[in-house]
Amino acid sequence: MNNWIYNEFKHCGVNYSDIEQAEIYDNQHQKFRDYEKEFIDFLSNLSLDNYHNVTMIDLGCGTGATSLYASKYFKKIYAIDVSELMIKQVIKKSEKENITNIEFINSGFLSYEHKAEPVDIVLTKSALHHLPDFWKQVALLRINKMLKPSGIFYLFDVIYHFQPTEYINKIDNFISAFEAMAGEQFKAEVETHIRDEFSTFSWIMEGMLARAGFEVEKIRTSDGFVMEYYCKKVRDIALP
């Protein structure tokens, strides 16, 4: 790998390569997220005829909540994360549930090489913000190559959907809302996210998606921060 490639294995913000953080991740997020509801809602917004033949890449799978639910519906899941501890967590869960259709890979947006046939869906939840914008664009170009023609790219992340001049009040209110839902410790995590990680504005993200060969078919948000993008691959992108 070239020396100028961004090191995605070096954490920014909250360190999920730390065993304590990896172990408490689910407990923290379940205070304000319903993983099963999120997945069923995701399914209901897809126009797929036969779920059982679907293949999916889960980029930044974390402790595997989405991959585990997807394994009950889809043919094959590739669960990928830069944190070896996170991968160990999801392997442990899958073994407990006797799940055999997930392949686990310790890799990331910039390093994962998909050797199998292109997939029907690439999904990433709460992970792309770990990359600065230049490298987000590179990641999206690489995701294009992983997908079949007309394949689905689903992005769930903190993406700022407000006017830049409103940033102080918007961010203060966002942090206060998370503190009310999940407590003081998670408030500190959100502050770390805003300060040290790389969430971007929606118009920047939408420009990057277009340049990576995707057409945005649906956007959803309830708070102007956590955004869902349902995208379709509309053209192949030639890469060296």
| Domain ranges (residues) in the chain | 19-233
Q: Which CATH architecture has domain 19-233?
A: 3-Layer(aba) Sandwich (3.40)
pLDDT in tens, the chain (240 residues): 689 999 999 877 666 555 566 556 565 655 557 888 889 999 999 878 788 999 999 999 988 999 999 999 999 999 999 989 889 888 999 999 999 999 999 999 999 999 999 999 999 999 999 999 999 999 999 999 999 999 999 999 999 999 999 999 999 999 998 888 878 878 888 899 999 999 999 999 999 999 999 999 999 998 889 999 999 999 999 887
E strands of 54-212, at which residues? 55-59, 76-81, 102-106, 119-125, 147-158
Query: 30 phi and psi, to 5 degrees?
Result: -70, -10
Reading the block at residue 170, the tokens are 């918007």
Q: State the DSSP code for 198.
A: -
Q: Is 48 exposed, middle or buried (0-12, 13-18, 19+ CB in 10 A)?
A: middle
In angstroms, rounded to a whole number, what is the distance separating the alpha carbons of residues 118 and 146? 5
> pTM for the full model?
0.92
- Contact criterion met (CB below 8 Å) for 170 and 159: no
- Residue that has been written with the tokens 């390569």 in this structure: 17
